[in-house]
Structure 1
């Protein structure tokens, strides 16, 4: 009983006070939640209970749902073909660097998928600080397409890790392809329905909503797609991500809804996921010979390969925007942790590399945020001069 009380109180204190420390240290709240989770787990205030594990898992799925709400499929499909080709070249270079690095250093195949991951979660945080700049607009567009690719690979890797190379994997891939074809048909059907009858979307999510229908419908879509993925025995995160895409794509008249959903998630469920991740990181691991060095190598490799790949945008956007865009993609915190956890649970990477990826994800956020801030100050001073 006392342990349960300590668990609840500790989680509550971390959730309440993390934003204050983030403001003082001028860092995103997420890495601090992981650090505090690790510290409290180390001293014994956090321990693994079923309810803690379940809420953390739900927090992760909700995080993927929020990631989906940052992608308006209509806008993505309207991206100029020339830009789409450049973005695809950027992604191709990223994965080429990753494959080359993994093969050269004889790393496992999972590294080829982990190193090029892209997540726009912290790009959205940058937009709050720096506003609607050219490089952030480019970052969100390229990052949205990159995140779709990353989530799709997350699903494929999850199936491969669970079923191996046998008939189980073939069935899983067949189920995934059929599901995607159905989703494509559903998206197209809804697009036509709402185009012919726009009043339907307003009826589902009215402007003057005193019954919170928008939240209810959003959560309904979220749970339905998670349930479908559970039935198909596929990666639940992919279903949550697709559910999120529904919101901005078909209910653009509720432009405040993604922010409302994000406020709930980042105020309650998502912090618990990151606190849980922190609690799985044993601080004694910092004493393991070579761990910090390995984490730093992963950090610098992931940053450099994005900077080199981002140079494909120089001709259209210039050197400054290209470099800042590449840096903004160098913090795939949420997906990197999720994929590393998935790989570790499937025994695809050992505990040493799991800890290295957790540390690297923290190093990336701190280092990249600092570099972007310094570059912006330097460039402003240069323009003023």
Structure 2
């Protein structure tokens, strides 16, 4: 009955979320998270390894779809001045986070948590606002830079919390650096290969294909990259993103491929991930002393440091669009949960702080998406 309850509940939430989203004027991911929380509280969803596995695959697939939106050739050709502004933005994030951590007297772990960036949920904004928004395209570009830093720090922090400072930590760093070097060499090599043999792209992904070879190749790259990251004990989400970027960079002739890949993802896997995230937060934790106040403080801090850092783009985007960019970066849902889980399992943080961080990750998604929607609507009214 447990499995049947989960299946039926997930099916109902997936189907009704778009309608409830339209009714309550809320983003669909926010609705799915809230419904997941309620379903978990009332016992319709409980711990079940297959549900957790599908949700985890949903997150990796979301990161894969984010990579599919990134053609690395375009990334390389981007204006150097814009890259510098992006680096300034990321540096400001860590500077303001450092200042807040010292002022509040928090653990140094908070310096890793506050500036976390993840582009996974930015992809959901494309579904609603389109790909012609300058602030959203810049948010994706800068988010990639920030996420690389976040994942590197997450790998480093996770190794310290799990193994301490020692040989295993150094091996994790060697694996990370080696993997990045190998990816760069691989991309350069494939670029030369496809330049000499351009028809190889068409052979691998024909324009007209009744056997769905494009989907099969994409899924194969996605799965192989996950296997490599598991073997190296590195952040799987990063590997999934690289797999997506590989498809976007070398098979740009398949214009319809991103739509084909996202249809399945946003129709099933990604909503399952959001529902699962909501179901993992016990509503009775809201009654624990300090959980709500700590979550409110951290949420406010993460929102503020991003708004302050967005001054790096004021001349380029203007104040309002810079604010939108900062809000789009205020949803490091999965990375924040990952850090909180690793820290809690290693007994580095208390149960109160753990639940506060989980609540923060959920609250930020809802606040950021509602804030973006509000600013976007206000901008349309003024026009």
Cα distance in 2 for partners of 1:271, 1:342 equals 24
Which is further off, 57-66 or 364-373? 364-373
1:8-19 maps to which residues of 2 (within 5 A)? 8-19=7-18
Give the TM-score normalised by structure 2: 0.92
Change (3 A) 1:352 1:71: farther
Is the 8 Å Cα contact of residues 10 and 45 (structure 1) preserved in structure 2?
A: yes
1:50-109, CA deviations, whole angstroms, 9 ceiling, x for partnerless residues?
A: 222222222222222223223221111111111111110110000111122123222223
Contact residue 155 and residue 238 of structure 1 kept, 8 A: no
CA contact (8 A) 1:156 1:173 kept: yes
Shift of 1:200: 1.1
Once residues 140 and 373 of structure 2 are traced to their aligned partners in structure 1, the CA distance between those partners, rounded to angstroms, is 18
Q: CA deviation at 1:224?
A: 1.0
Shift of 1:272: 2.2
Residue in structure 2 matched with residue 198 of structure 1 by the alignment:
198
CA-CA distance at 1:308 after TM superposition:
0.9
Structure 1 residue matching 2:318: 3-state secondary structure: helix
Q: Say whether the 8 Å CA contact 2:27–2:370 is kept in structure 1.
A: no
Contact 1:69–1:247 (Cα < 8 Å) also in 2? yes
| 2:257 equivalent in structure 1 | 257
CA RMSD of superposed structures (Å)? 2.1
Structure 1 residue 217: deviation in Å? 0.7
Contact 2:328–2:368 under 8 Å retained in 1:
yes
Structure-2 separation of matches of 1:44 and 1:316 = 49
Q: Note the C-alpha offset of 1:381.
A: 4.5
C-alpha deviations, 1:239-258, integer Å up to 9, x for none?
22221211111111123222
Q: Which residue of 2 aligns with 1:69?
A: 68
C-alpha separation between the residues in 2 aligned to 1:161 and 1:65?
27
- Higher mean displacement: 301-310 or 273-282: 273-282
Asked whether the 8 Å contact 1:247–1:258 carries over to 2, the reply is no
Inter-CA distance 325–66: structure 2 relative to 1 (3 Å threshold): same
- In 1, Cα distance between equivalents of 2:66 and 2:57: 14
Moved more, 212-221 or 250-259: 250-259
C-alpha change, 1:129 and 1:230, in structure 2 (3 Å) is closer
Per the alignment, in what secondary structure is the counterpart of residue 281 of structure 1? coil
CA separation of 1:38/1:88 partners in 2, compared to 1, >3 Å: closer, same or farther? same
Q: Identify the range of structure 1 (171-180 vs 181-190) with the bigger mean alpha-carbon deviation.
A: 171-180
Aligned length: 382
- CA-CA distance at 1:205 after TM superposition: 1.1
Structure 1: gaps (5+ residues): none
Alignment of 1:25-174 (within 5 A): 25-131=24-130, 132-174=132-174
On the 8 A contact 1:71/1:144 being kept in 2, the answer is no
How far apart are residue 382 of structure 1 and its match? 4.3
**How far off its partner does 1:356 sit?**
1.8
3-state SS of the aligned residue for 1:121? coil
TM-score by length of 1: 0.91
- Please give the secondary structure, in 2, of the residue aligned with 1:189: helix
**Are 1:21 and 2:20 an aligned pair?**
yes
Q: 1:45 to 1:259 in 2, by over 3 A?
A: same
The one-character-per-residue Cα deviations of 1:18-63 (angstroms, maximum 9, x if unpaired) are 2221222222222222222221222222221222222222222222
Task: Give CA-to-partner distance per residue, 1:154-186, whole Å, 9 cap, x none.
Answer: 333333332221111111211222222111110
Deviations 1:191-250 (A, max 9, x none): 111222221112111111211111111111111111112222222222222212111111
The answer (yes or no) to whether the contact 2:64–2:222 under 8 Å persists in 1 is: yes
What are structure 2's unaligned runs of at least 5 residues? none
